[in-house]
Amino acid sequence: MRDMTLADVDAVLAIEQAVQTYPWTRGNFMDALNSGYVCRVDEMGGEIRGFAVLRLVLDEAELLSIGVAADQQRKGLGRALLLEMLDLACQKNMLRVFLEVRASNVAALALYRSAGFGEIGIRRDYYQNANGSEDAITMACELTGEING
């Protein structure tokens, strides 16, 4: 894994558009890079397979986005990206990491729970979906220097 660069945005955007019903825009990724967020990509053989974006604020972090190319899913890459972000948050002396996930995203909820995240709230009608909207589950992981995996 390595830092995301401006040259990676097209590949990252292609993954995002392929795997998300309501994807981030090019502007969202550009803003994240230009704002100094922790943006990482997983690359193998010159191909970007996944990405993650983490925003650091004082002693807390928020996982803003994580995505894995459709043909690379269910191979542990999402977990590897998540653990990388948690490790980087620890290195930056963050105390906790927050995230929001669609209530319907059972696979992501299981991944986050297995990595030490717990539910701390619900944001009603937070995400758009085909039926109008759905809730977001807000989760947090307290960082102790040891990352669950």
Residues marked active site are found at 100, 112
**Measured between alpha carbons, how far apart are the two ends of the chain, in Å?**
17
> What does DSSP say about strands 47-57 and 96-102: parallel, antiparallel, or unpaired?
unpaired
Range list of H helices, 25-105? 26-34, 77-91
Our CA angle for 66, 18, 6, nearest 5°, is 60
CA–CA distance, 4 with 40 (Å, rounded to integer): 5
Neighbours of 58 (CB within 10 A): 7
Where b means 16+ CB within 10 Å and e means fewer, 107-122 reads: ebbebbeebbbeeeee
